[in-house]
């Protein structure tokens, strides 16, 4: 199988299989084949080929019914949980976001490959979202293990180009869960610094969908609170972070940086009605994430 690229050929041929044969029984047989390979201790490359060309080949599965796709992603979650090394090399956050961006972009299955003219049945919006959540659980598993600058770049690109507010909301929820761990939060900030800081999250305050605006505020607030105090002069937020060592800490430089972040939030917030939820979230963020000097300034927003 390895020498003749067996799984690559099998994956290509499976793109031509009639949809009524891409069912739970077929998937069960493929899962059994995978388990035989894994249990026999065969080459890791063969296992990776099986995942890449069969189980993570969207041209095979995105045309299938919801139950088949759900079972497929649950199987992948189990395998990646059993062997985190596979997750790091084969299913990092950029690939997950690419799946969500392309394969379910219109809330329906994509057309089949060029080898067949048959199209899959449409998935409902609810079914698509459930599949999104399964995929995002893979992304969350990946960044919980180790976050790279490529993950932040992919996240930023997704948030900037995506116009589906429900997808953005689900992705932001996933990020919020992941960075609830302090070590990961610090790593997230470090990697984001490499591509320019938190401006992309503040820019989400311009979106028309209030849940996205609230989540973006909460995310900024969590980053502020969790930012290591020893890095309080870093450019990520353009303001000083952490407890004041003395009343003199609110100097001109710190005040200027604080005003920049407050002004950025205020400018975007004023474009929409100030609802009770937005007011409460904004108050939480500014008092929970700013320095004492910044909190005083926040009262003017």
Give dist(CA 53, CA 64) in Å, integer. 16
Residue labelled with tokens 């997808």: 167
Spell out the SS3 assignment of 78-93. Answer: HHHHHCHHHHHHHCCH
Residue labelled with tokens 């589906």: 164
Give dist(CA 96, CA 291) in Å, integer. 36
Give the total residue count for the chain.
301
Give dist(CA 156, CA 93) in Å, integer. 12
Give dist(CA 153, CA 163) in Å, integer. 18
Give dist(CA 105, CA 142) in Å, integer. 22
Q: Where are the alpha helices (DSSP H) in 40-124?
A: 44-50, 58-61, 66-82, 84-90, 93-102
Give dist(CA 64, CA 15) in Å, integer. 11
The C-alpha angle 294, 203, 236, rounded to 5 degrees, equals: 50
- CB distance 184 to 177 below 8 Å: no
- CB distance 282 to 269 below 8 Å: yes
Residue labelled with tokens 């189980």: 55
Q: What is the pLDDT of residue 289?
A: 45
- Tens digit of pLDDT per residue, the chain (301 long)? 767 788 999 999 999 999 999 999 999 999 999 988 887 766 678 889 999 999 999 999 988 999 999 999 999 999 999 888 888 888 999 999 999 987 654 444 443 333 333 455 688 889 999 999 999 999 999 999 889 999 999 998 999 889 899 999 999 999 999 988 888 888 998 888 888 766 667 778 888 888 998 898 888 778 777 555 545 444 444 433 334 344 344 444 444 544 565 666 666 665 777 788 877 887 777 675 443 333 333 333 3
Please write down the long-range contacts of 272-276, taking CB distance under 8 Å and 24 or more positions apart: 272/210, 272/213, 275/210
Tell me the C-alpha to C-alpha distance, in Å, between residue 143 and each of 91, 99, 188, 220.
10, 16, 9, 18
| 207 backbone φψ class: left, alpha, beta (φ>0; ψ -120 to 50) | beta
What does 14-61 look like in DSSP terms, one character per residue? HTTS-GGGSSHHHHHHHHHHHHHHHHTT--HHHHHHHIIIIIT-HHHH
């Amino acid at each position: 199988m390895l020498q003749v690229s067996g799984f690559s050929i099998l994956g290509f041929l499976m793109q031509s299989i009639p949809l009524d044969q891409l069912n739970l029984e077929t998937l069960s047989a493929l899962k059994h084949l995978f388990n035989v390979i894994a249990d026999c201790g065969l080459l890791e490359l063969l296992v990776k080929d099986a995942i890449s060309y069969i189980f993570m080949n969207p041209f095979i599965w995105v045309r299938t019914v919801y139950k088949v796709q759900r079972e497929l992603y649950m199987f992948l979650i189990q395998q990646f949980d059993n062997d985190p090394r596979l997750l790091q090399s084969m299913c990092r956050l950029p690939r997950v976001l690419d799946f969500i961006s392309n394969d379910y972009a219109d809330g329906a299955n994509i057309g089949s490959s060029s080898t067949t003219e048959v199209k899959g049945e449409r998935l409902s919006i609810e079914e698509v979202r459930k599949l999104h959540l399964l995929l995002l659980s893979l992304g969350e598993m990946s960044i919980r293990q180790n976050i790279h600058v490529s993950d932040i770049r992919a996240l930023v690109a997704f948030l900037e180009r995506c116009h589906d507010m429900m997808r953005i909301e689900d992705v932001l929820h996933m990020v919020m869960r992941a960075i609830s761990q302090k070590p990961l939060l610090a790593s997230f900030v470090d990697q984001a610094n490499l591509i320019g800081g938190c401006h992309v999250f503040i820019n989400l305050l311009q979106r028309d969908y209030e849940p996205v605006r609230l989540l973006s505020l909460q995310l900024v607030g969590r980053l502020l609170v969790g930012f290591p105090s020893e890095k309080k002069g870093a450019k990520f937020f353009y303001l000083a972070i952490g407890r004041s060592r003395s009343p003199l800490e609110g100097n001109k430089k710190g005040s200027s940086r604080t005003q920049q972040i407050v002004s950025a939030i205020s400018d975007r917030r004023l474009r929409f009605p100030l609802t009770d939820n937005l007011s409460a979230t904004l108050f939480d963020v500014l008092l929970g994430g700013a320095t004492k000097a910044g909190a005083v300034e926040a009262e003017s927003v």
